[in-house]
Amino acid sequence: MDRVLVFGTSDGGSIPSRRTQMEKLYFNRLIRDKILDKLIGKGLVFRSRELSEEEFEKELVKKVPEEGEGLVAAKTREEFLMEFGDLLYVIDEIKRVKKISDQELNEIKKNNFDKKGSFSKRIYLEWTSDDGYQTNEKK
């Protein structure tokens, strides 16, 4: 369902209907449920819509790098903890939507640990000779 709030004020009143040119900030991303209330409270004009299940899953996964970037950009412990909490919330929501159990996830983590090890040695790989290895990460 599309929602367009055209005119509103923080006290619930309306702004006289007059057409003016307005600047728009485009987000095109999944937001948390209470954000719309904040936008309405500020009297902002916006457009939103409810996502289908398929769109929701896709957009939810796209939140992971967004929240990860917030972790990297955090300047204080408090900011880091807030971003880390956001990331964990997104991961928990992905687990719920994809029906991934803690047991299933722990088995995968153990298998990955057995194959790849941990980060305890703090090894940072700068380069290797090219053997045709294909990474699944963005460059």
Mention every residue, 6+ apart, whose C-beta is less than 8 A from residue 37: none
* Class of residue 14 by CB neighbours under 10 A (exposed 0-12, middle 13-18, buried 19+): exposed
Tell me the pLDDT tens digit for each residue of 61-111. Answer: 999 999 999 999 999 999 999 999 999 999 999 999 999 999 999 999 999
Say what the pTM is.
Answer: 0.75
Across the chain, mean pLDDT equals 87
Instruction: Report residue 4: phi and psi, to 5°.
Output: -130, 115
Q: What is the DSSP letter of 43?
A: T
Task: Read off the pLDDT band of 138 (50, 70, 90).
Answer: low
- pLDDT over 60 at 14, yes or no: no
Structure token digits, residue 103:
């047991």
Is the sign of the CA dihedral 68, 112, 101, 137 positive or negative? positive
